[in-house]
Amino acid sequence: MRALTARFGPALFLLAYFFWFAGGGLRARFTGDDLMNLNFHLTPSFPQLLRSNLTYWSTAYRPMGGIFYVAVYRLAGLRPMPFRVVCFALLLVNLWLMYRVSLRLTGRREAALLATLLVTYHAWFVNLYYSTGTIYELLSFGFYFAALDYYLGIRESGAALRLRQWGVFLALYICALNSKELAVTLPVCILCYEFIWHGAKASARGATITGLLTLPYVIGKLTGPDSLPATDPLYRPAISAARYLHTFHLYLNVLFYQDHFFRDANTILLVAGMLALALWLRSRPLLFGWCFILFSVLPFIFLPHYSGFFLYLPMAGWAWYGATVLEMIWVRFVKSLPAWVLFLAVGLALAPLHAREARRTMQVFASAELPTTEMIAQLREVEPSLPRGAYLYFESDPFPAKTYSLVFLVRLLYDDLSIQAARAKDGDPIEGGHFDAVYSWTDGKLAKAESH
């Protein structure tokens, strides 16, 4: 019994911990981003979407996420639960991959479990748990860590990758790139691992090949009239050391549940102190974690917009560093108690902090929620079907003005991207319009007027 508890107890605790804090996300509704993303990825044909995943250097918008959206929509229709189930399955797979990579890096099950616990939940990652729009982060993390786990599994024995293994590794990396731009740091990750673990016997082949593979991707994504920087000001980076430091300390406050504690000066002291400790202890996991913390933020650190869940991938570096330090202290000073006591103590110590911050983050998230579930239910009741290319008019509706969420929702509900919707809220006139249906929204109910 004791052996079974030691073997499966931590995993059960991690599952319970995760669902206690994040489980409500299984019942989350569609967000405006979900409706936009679905409408966007359904616009090209499915063969075109598949080709976009092969031509990974094109300006196609995160086509691996498109495969997810289109596949689940075609199988389950416009129902949020199937999307949420897949997202939660990915979150759990990512925790498993985090454990595997952590075990390879630290060489100790206790440290690997502790690192996994540290990334199991973070209150400011609320979008990961409640918004399907973060599928790009979930997929990118999964493929990134699957590629890293595969590479480390071969290289930890000193063996070189064979041709077939290169094919698997690079395919996983391309899938990560097709999921989100966060994955571009994998060549730097591989390079750091090689020199920290293999020293004079380090191989630069992995970093070189992945770097060469990344080059056309970066050029393709940053140039051209359809690239994100060209079409969206929020994706135009302002690259400078000052910008890096400023944004880094903003994210530190988020990471450690602080408001304004971290500023430039104490951020520099923290980072320098962490490096000094890693070098003094001659700890490979500490040094690798420190490097990962600094380079994994590069894809977003220079952008003019911020979101807590951007730290999803960089959080792994903090977890490796923190878990290694805690386990070292435990082994040195608390030898009489088993390691699972530390694991449990860290989880219980963080729980009230997570709960406190979750109340804040859920308020922020809920304030931007749209009545998508209510509108879907009312449309299904009032209008079971619509003619192809229908032209609709909403005299009133519960969606914000000057947004496209309502028309996206209607198109997706009836699986017809040619549907048009005019809205009084947007100043669209009803006079002179030949509408197939006219609706009004009052007290949470949709009513249909006579056709115009």
Same domain as 252, residue 136: yes
Q: SS3 for 93?
A: helix
User: pLDDT, tens digit, for every residue of 197-206?
Assistant: 998 788 889 9
Residues 434 and 314 in one domain: no
**pLDDT at 161 (0 to 100):** 92
Domain boundary among 334, 367, 400: 367
Q: Are residues 316 and 435 in the same domain?
A: no
The reply to whether 24 and 158 lie within a common domain is yes
pLDDT tier at 238 (50, 70, 90 boundaries)? Answer: confident
Query: Which residue in this structure is represented by tokens 């740091």?
Result: 185
Residues 282 and 407 in one domain: no
Instruction: Give me the pLDDT at residue 392, please.
Output: 94
R_g (Cα) of the chain, nearest Å = 24
Mean pLDDT over residues 51-64, rounded? 92
Residue range 293-316: mean pLDDT, rounded: 93
33 and 129 inside one domain = yes
Q: Per the structure, how many domains does the chain have? A: 2
Give the model confidence (pLDDT) of 170-202 as tens digits.
Answer: 999 999 999 999 999 999 999 999 999 998 788
Lowest-pLDDT range of 144-148, 231-235, 289-293, 345-349: 231-235
Q: Which of 225-229, 234-238, 259-263, 304-308 has the lowest mean pLDDT?
A: 225-229
Task: Taking residues 18-23, report their average pLDDT.
Answer: 97
Q: Which domain holds residue 434?
A: 372-449
Residue where a domain stops, chosen among 367, 387, 408:
367
Same domain, 402 and 346: no
Average pLDDT, the chain: 93
- On the question of pLDDT at 136 being above 70, the answer is yes
One domain for residues 415 and 318: no
In a shared domain, residues 303 and 390: no
Please state which of the ranges 154-158, 253-257, 277-281, 396-400 shows the lowest mean pLDDT: 154-158
Which stretches of 201-314 are DSSP H helices?
205-222, 228-231, 241-255, 264-281, 284-295
224 with 331, same domain: the answer is: yes
If asked whether residues 99 and 48 sit together in one domain, one would say yes
| Whether residue 282 has pLDDT greater than 80 | yes
**Distance from C-alpha of 160 to C-alpha of 47, rounded to nearest angstrom:** 36
Q: Which of 332, 349, 367 is the last residue of a domain?
A: 367
Q: What is the pLDDT of residues 406-435, one digit of tens each?
A: 999 999 999 999 999 999 999 988 887 789
pLDDT band at 396 (very low <50, low <70, confident <90, very high): very high
pTM for this structure? Answer: 0.95
34 closest CA partner among 379, 413, 303, 307: 413
Q: Are residues 125 and 18 in the same domain?
A: yes
**pLDDT at 150 > cutoff 70:** yes
Mean pLDDT lowest for which of 209-213, 217-221, 403-407? Answer: 217-221
User: How many other C-beta atoms can be found within 10 angstroms of the C-beta atom of residue 451?
Assistant: 10
pLDDT greater than 80 at residue 7: no
